[in-house]
């Protein structure tokens, strides 16, 4: 079971904090162990946010946008996690 699914890139998170989308069944100790093993950093704090599925209507069909769990990880000052950097965003098609 993969605990860390992908990095959740956002402009709001700055400094020593990183956000990852994680498995819905993962808990804080499992996430901490996986991140420390994979990225070799010291973790100070972990906050978890569960995002509910949201109703959406696409071309007249009702459905739900999937829900997910994300972890906000605070690492020790001076340490970094190498994540995929944002590329230049393309304008959205109209």
For residue 22, count other CB atoms closer than 10 A to its CB: 25
How many beta carbons lie within 10 A of that of residue 64, not counting itself? 10
pTM of the model: 0.78
> DSSP characters for 42-62?
-EEEEEEEEEPPEEEEETTEE
pLDDT digits (tens, 9 = 90+) for 29-65: 999 999 999 999 999 999 999 999 999 998 999 999 9
Percentage of the chain exceeding pLDDT 70 = 86
Set out the domains of the chain in order of their start, with CATH numbers: 4-75 (3.30.70.330)
């Amino acid at each position: 079971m993969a605990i860390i699914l992908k990095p959740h890139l956002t402009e709001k998170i700055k400094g020593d904090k990183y956000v990852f989308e994680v498995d819905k069944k993962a808990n804080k100790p499992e996430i901490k162990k996986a991140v420390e093993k994979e990225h070799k950093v010291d973790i100070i704090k972990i906050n978890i946010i569960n995002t509910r599925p949201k109703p959406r209507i696409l071309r007249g069909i009702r459905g739900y946008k999937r829900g997910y769990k994300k972890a906000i990880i605070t690492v020790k000052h001076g340490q970094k996690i190498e994540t995929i950097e944002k590329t230049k965003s393309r304008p959205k098609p109209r």
